[in-house]
């Protein structure tokens, strides 16, 4: 089958479901976006997987499963979003044994599959049919109104973070990670990155 590769375009607060997020996947060749509604935990897990710099004091479920896969000599080869039924996406996680080349396909929620794929830097694919059924074409102007996961909170608290020294920011970051307040940790991490870019 001719699969279409998707990239993670961002995560935003869901406009349709309270307390949920929308994971925005994009087919780069056509700019068609695939919005997937996910929960708060999955949004945090995907964001942490993308960040790479923030490590929770105890492993999250997806981190634990990642270690198990590696310990079993498997690697995550790809994720395929193969179907949508009544607004629900169905996905497979494709694994391969590094020693025997044995292939293993696991059924998974799309949010979990994406959270795993970012930990292995594995590609995400879908079918043309799924794109036809659930894909939307958004202009960049529309996207700018709907920023990434924690940008709304960042905008509200940005001025407060700007007035804090780098040392204090680092302490706040360490404390947020320790307390497992990943929303705040990601906000602080973004502020630290912005300052480092200015220095460079």
Name the DSSP class of 99. Answer: T
Residue range 15-57, pLDDT digits in tens: 656 678 889 899 988 989 898 989 888 988 898 888 877 777 8
Q: Kindly report the CA angle at 174 between 10 and 153, in degrees rounded to 5? A: 40
Helices H / strands E in the chain, number of each: 8, 8
Each domain of the chain, given as residue ranges in start order, spans 4-145, 151-199
Decide if 56 contacts 40 (C-beta within 8 A).
no
pTM: 0.70
- When the candidates are 2.70.70.10, 3.10.690.10, 3.30.930.10, 3.40.640.10, the CATH number that belongs to 4-145 is 3.10.690.10
Q: How big, in percent rounded to 5, are the helix, strand and coil portions of the chain?
A: 45, 30, 25
Of 148, 84, 93, the C-alpha closest to 125 is 93
State the SS3 of 25-44.
Answer: EEECCCCEEEEEEECHHHHH
The β-bridge partners of 108 are 91
Confidence of residue 2 (pLDDT cuts 50, 70, 90): confident
């Amino acid at each position: 089958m001719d699969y279409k590769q998707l990239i993670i375009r961002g995560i935003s607060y869901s406009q349709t479901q309270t307390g949920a997020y929308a994971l925005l996947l994009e087919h780069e060749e056509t700019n068609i976006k695939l919005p997937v509604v996910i929960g708060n935990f999955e949004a945090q897990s995907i964001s942490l997987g993308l960040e790479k710099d923030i490590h929770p004091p105890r492993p999250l479920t997806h981190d634990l499963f990642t270690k198990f896969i590696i310990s079993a000599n498997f690697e995550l080869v790809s994720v395929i979003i193969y179907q949508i039924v009544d607004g629900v996406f169905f996905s497979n996680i494709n694994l391969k044994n590094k020693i025997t080349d044995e292939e293993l396909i696991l059924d998974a929620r799309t949010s979990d599959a994406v959270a795993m794929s970012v930990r292995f830097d594995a590609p995400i694919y879908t079918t043309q049919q799924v794109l036809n059924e659930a894909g939307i074409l958004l202009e960049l102007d529309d996207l700018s109104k709907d920023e990434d996961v924690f940008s709304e909170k960042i905008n509200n608290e940005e001025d407060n973070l700007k007035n804090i020294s780098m040392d204090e920011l680092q302490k706040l970051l360490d404390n947020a990670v320790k307390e497992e307040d990943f929303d705040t940790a990601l906000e602080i991490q973004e502020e630290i990155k912005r300052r480092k870019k200015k220095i460079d």
